[in-house]
Structure 1
Amino acid sequence: MEIYYLIPALAISAGLLSILGNKYDQIYLLFFSVAIFLICGFRYNSDIDYPGYFEIYERIPALTDLGADDFKSIYGEPLFILAGSFFKLFTSDYQLYLIILVAISIFGKAFFISKFTRYSSAAFGIYLCFHFITVEFIQVRWAVSTSLLALSLFFLINFRYLYVIIFAILAINFHYYSSVIVLIILIAYFVSIKKAYLIFYLCSIIFLLKLFDIFEFYRISDINFFSNYIKNQLNTYGNNDVSIGFLGILRVFFCIFLASIVPVGYSREILILKKTLIISTSVALIGYLIGTIFYYRTLVFCDLIFSVILFSRMTLINSKYYKLLYFLIILLYNLWFIIDINNNIYGKFITEYIFLK
């Protein structure tokens, strides 16, 4: 199990090196990304979804034998099945297919982050604090899809519309929930920052009003009830079967607060990213009311954008006190990461790490 705790250690180290000397940030990001790639890509049956994906891949026929009925009978989106079918022309080894998928996910996100901040290794570490275990290590399809979505957004910002369409279509056909993120990106691209905040305020009001009803806050006068409620929420953080948890809800608003520190007029790129974060966070809140799975899916993209925006602020300042503050933020989020690792081990979502057999 020790290897899982190596990730927060790497994230803290990469963040510290990046903050102290971002001249070599691209080198730090490369080593950091390769380390994460090796850990994720060369694992064997170490997470709860591995057996299921292995079984799916075993059922996928080679491309020459693939038929329309296979898309109906085999679990997974069309591109996931088609890519696996193509790969089976060369080998039936699922592990090699997994390595390719992990490479797309990890290096795609690293590339995206590196294009918007000179503290990319620190930003990548912040993203991994939230989603290394659940997404990059377990949810293979959503990990790849979010990487394709990030690349689509990158090309949109850079006016390369053909690539925007290509990567958006690829993402949707690798995981259907990507269609929601594509819609978020388009809305954020065309609305003003004021309208984006208005959408967030409206969604927050709807969320909080519904939250009061769900959690029976009218019983707040009962001190024992309120005390037990808070304890229960804190204890159930990370348990997908029970609740998102009090901290899980609070951190959404904390992300918006930290992102608001970045000046709107800083750059066109950051402005678009900021609007994307605001709209996606709004959708995550509404998604929570519909079902926690929608909240979790959307939040992956939120946190990826948030990590970029957070460290884009550092390009505006050159103060050792601000750098200390950012390092403390890195430590705080890695503490969250360690708690998440413990919860996933306790819940048996991850097991003893086995290197590639």
Structure 2
Amino acid sequence: MYYYTLVVLAYATFLLDNFNVRNKEKYSCLFAYVFFSVIFFISSFRYEVGSDYPGYKEIFEYDDPIEPLFALLIKAVKYIGGNYEVFVAIIFILSFGLKLFVFRKLAFRKGFYLSMMLFCSFYYIAYEMNAIRQGLAMSLTLLAVYYAYMRKKIKYITVCLLASFIHYTAFCFIPFYLLLNIKLKKIHIVGICLLCVLLSMNQIISVPLKWDELNN
């Protein structure tokens, strides 16, 4: 139920922000405030929610081997006296905050809430409520995409390396910067986009199923 509320709020805010609606600034701000309050509350103060919750809790409590930067975050939270719930909240703030920054920079004003709606529809449950380590690494690689767009190679590589020390699979993003020098025809771009949609269909279809599993 909470999940669908987030999608509806994001979509309503997008509509208010992009169409001529009476008192749209007032209602747009209200919907945005409710949306961000709800997503922060759900994600930061959840307990035993998500299939990976017990696994990461065990890693946190017993210092099980994990990627070095993620382990450093665990040690930092423990150093300030935080428990696992505090750690989950901090990870969400970092991960979601990075996504908000990039959405605002790349989607511009008219596409910001549309980006939020798509994120909540397809990726929120999988990477903010379950695979939080992958979610944080994805946020960093998303930031790297922004630096690639701005042609800032050093920052791109640096952020990709940071993401790699959260989740080693992020190493594969480092060579992608070289693709910026390749000029593609429109037909190739359309083909790549269609291929990405086809590859993601399995996850898109499985999102409601994952949510049902979390509630059972």
TM range (shorter): 0.7 to 0.9
Q: Distance in 2 between matches of 1:88 and 1:21?
A: 49
Describe how 1:271-310 pairs up with structure 2 within 5 A: 281=196, 285=199
Residue 128 of structure 2 corresponds to residue 125 of structure 1: no
- In the TM superposition, what is the alpha-carbon distance from 1:161 to its structure 2 partner? 3.7
Q: How many residues align?
A: 210
The residue that corresponds to 2:45 in the other structure is 42
> Cα RMSD between the aligned structures?
3.3
Note closer, same or farther for the CA distance 1:159–1:340 as it changes in structure 2 (3 Å cut): closer
In structure 2, relative to structure 1, the CA distance for the partners of 1:164 and 1:43 (3 Å cut) is same
**2:146 corresponds to:** 154
Verify the 8 A CA contact 2:13 2:28 in the aligned structure 1.
no
Q: Where in structure 2 are there 5+ consecutive unaligned residues?
A: none
Q: CA deviation at 1:10?
A: 1.5
Q: Does 1:108 align with 2:108?
A: no
Task: Write the distance in 2 (CA, Å) between the matches of 1:35 and 1:192.
Answer: 42
* Partner secondary structure for residue 168 of structure 2: coil
C-alpha distance in 2, partners of 1:121/1:94? 31
**TM-score when normalising by structure 2:** 0.81
Superposed, 1:134-149 pairs within 5 Å as 134-149=126-141
Percent of aligned pairs sharing the same letter:
24
The answer to which of 34-43 and 166-175 deviates more is 34-43
TM-score (ref. length: structure 1): 0.51
Equivalent residue number for residue 183 of structure 1: 175
Give distance in 2, aligned partners of 1:42 and 1:162: 36
2:95–2:135 CA contact under 8 A, matched in 1: yes
Q: Which residue of 1 aligns with 2:69?
A: 79
Provide the rounded CA distance (Å) in 2 between the counterparts of 1:161 and 1:131. Answer: 27
Distance 1:107 1:26 in 2: 20
Q: Secondary structure at the match of 1:174?
A: coil
Q: Which runs of 5+ in 1 are unaligned?
A: 61-73, 205-251, 257-280, 297-335, 353-357
Task: Give 1:188 deviation, angstroms.
Answer: 3.1
1:194 matched to which residue of 2? Answer: 185
Note if 1:340 corresponds to 2:204.
no
Give the 3 Å change call, closer, same or farther, for CA 111–12 of structure 1 in structure 2: same
Whether the 8 Å CA contact 1:149–1:182 is kept in 2: the answer is no
Instruction: Report the counterpart of residue 351 of structure 1 in structure 2.
Output: 215
Task: Specify which structure has the bigger relative contact order, considering alpha-carbon pairs within 8 angstroms and separated by 6 or more residues.
Answer: 1
* Deviation readout 1:152-204 (Å, 9 max, x if unpaired): 221232244443232111101101111223333x1432211239928x85xx8
Question: How far apart are residue 29 of structure 1 and its match?
Answer: 5.4
- Asked if structure 1 preserves the Cα contact closer than 8 Å seen for 2:77 and 2:87, the reply is yes
Q: Which amino acid aligns with 1:129?
A: S
**Contact conserved, 2:51 with 2:130, CA < 8 A, in 1?**
yes
Considering only CA atoms, is the larger Rg found in Structure 1 or Structure 2?
A: 1
1:245 counterpart residue number: none
